Amino acid sequence: MLTVEFDRLGLRSGDRVIDMGCGAGRHAFEMYRRGADVVAFDQDADELAGVLELFGAMKEAGEVPDGAEADIKEGDALALPFADGEFDRVVASEVLEHVPADIQAISELVRVLRPGGTMAVTVPRWLPEVICWKLSHDYHDTPGGHIRIYSDKELIGKLENAGMTFEGIDYAHALHAPYWWLKCAVGVENDKHPLVRAYHQVLVWDLMKTPRVSLATRLAEKAMNPVIGKSMVLYLRKPDAELG
């Protein structure tokens, strides 16, 4: 389940990219499949081990173009171990809402992006997230959980203050918003609740079926994304260096 649209990001084969806070690697895998040289970055060594294993399986299965490379790197989002301007593209999906020092993390993302490069940043959208917080304290008050709710204006402002140029906004995963509202209402850990199980089966069905088979749910989600899309997706560009 991808949140970022890589065509909109401008991703091209051969680009050097970082997926910061990659988690299980969903965006890193797609960028690798498209021929990018990918660094999957996270602080969770166990998650990274699984990502590296799947990178190897993808290459062995011939799922990636010749010449594409992928690797993992464990570290701190507040001190990225990379040179200034090292990456053509930067992805940070569902990360910043977990980071206390988000301005410092944003500064690091901007630093490692080359002038003229592009960035995609996704976070939970304000309205669906507010509803989740009001329905359940346990939804966000967990170790490593969400510590803030961004408005679009706030996050765009922080990224622009760090030197980025805002290019567009999108919303994704509207079908997931009611699912999480339901979980928050019955207990976020109560996965055996019949309504939660039934809704989850629909989401899995939609994910596993081809777009042609699940056309109705895809069209429904596309129509609802502008209203209740669970994720907000920002696309930005780092201005070219001024010629001096």
> Are both 155 and 90 inside the same structural domain?
yes
- Host domain of residue 85: 6-124+143-173+229-237
How many domains in the chain?
2
Instruction: Give the pLDDT confidence score for residue 213 in this predicted structure.
Output: 58
Q: What is the pLDDT of residue 205?
A: 83
Q: Is the residue at 131 inside a domain?
A: no
> ∠ CA(54), CA(174), CA(214), 5° rounding?
70
**Rounded to whole angstroms, how far apart are CA atoms 117 and 115?**
5
Could you read off the pLDDT of 208-237 as tens digits, one per residue? 776 665 677 888 889 999 999 999 999 999
154 and 200 share one domain: no
Asked if the structure places residue 23 within a domain, the reply is yes
Q: Indicate if 78 and 180 belong to the same structural domain.
A: no
- Quick check: 134 pLDDT over 60? yes
- 135 lies in some domain: no
pLDDT average, residue stretch 146-160: 97
Whole-angstrom Cα distance, residue 192 to residue 201? 12
In the prediction, which pLDDT does 163 show?
Answer: 97
Same domain, 45 and 149: yes
Q: What are 97-126's pLDDT values in tens digits? A: 999 999 999 999 999 999 999 999 999 999
Same domain, 38 and 158: yes
Is it the case that residue 244 has pLDDT exceeding 50?
no
Q: Which tens digit of pLDDT belongs to each residue from 163-217?
A: 999 999 999 999 999 999 999 999 999 999 999 999 999 888 877 776 665 677 8
Q: Is residue 138 part of a domain?
A: no
**148 with 56, same domain?**
yes
DSSP 144: T
Residues 183 and 75 in one domain: no
Nearest to 36 by CA among 54, 11, 53, 57: 11
Count of C-beta atoms within a 10 Å radius of residue 219? 11
Are 238 and 116 a contacting pair, CB within 8 Å? Answer: yes
The helix (run of H) or strand (run of E) holding residue 38 is: strand 37-42
Q: Are residues 152 and 210 in the same domain?
A: no
Least Cα distance to 173 among 113, 235, 121, 227 occurs for: 227
Question: Is the same domain home to 196 and 211?
Answer: yes
| Residue 22 in this model has a pLDDT that exceeds 70 | yes
Same domain, 151 and 195: no
pLDDT digits (tens, 9 = 90+) for 37-92: 999 999 999 999 999 999 999 999 999 999 999 999 999 999 999 999 999 999 99
pLDDT above 70: percentage of residues in the chain: 96
Structure confidence at residue 243 (pLDDT): 42
Tell me the DSSP string of 54-81. Answer: HHHHHHHTT-S-TT--EEEEE--TTS-S
Same domain as 150, residue 68 = yes
Residue 133 placed within a domain: no
Higher pLDDT, 14 or 141: 14
Q: What is the pLDDT of residue 211?
A: 63
Cβ neighbours around 38 below 10 Å, total: 32
The answer to whether position 50 is within a domain reads: yes
Examine the domain organization and report whether 55 and 166 are in the same domain. Answer: yes
Q: What pLDDT score was predicted for residue 229?
A: 96
The 10s digit of each residue's pLDDT in 37-50 is 999 999 999 999 99
d(CA 105, CA 20): 10
Domain at 41, CATH number = 3.40.50.150
Is the pLDDT reported for residue 242 higher than 80?
Answer: no
Does the residue 20 lie in any domain? Answer: yes
Cα separation of the two ends of the chain: 44
Assigned domain for 130 exists: no
Residue indicated by tokens 């069905």: 205
CA–CA separation, 133 vs 190, rounded Å?
17
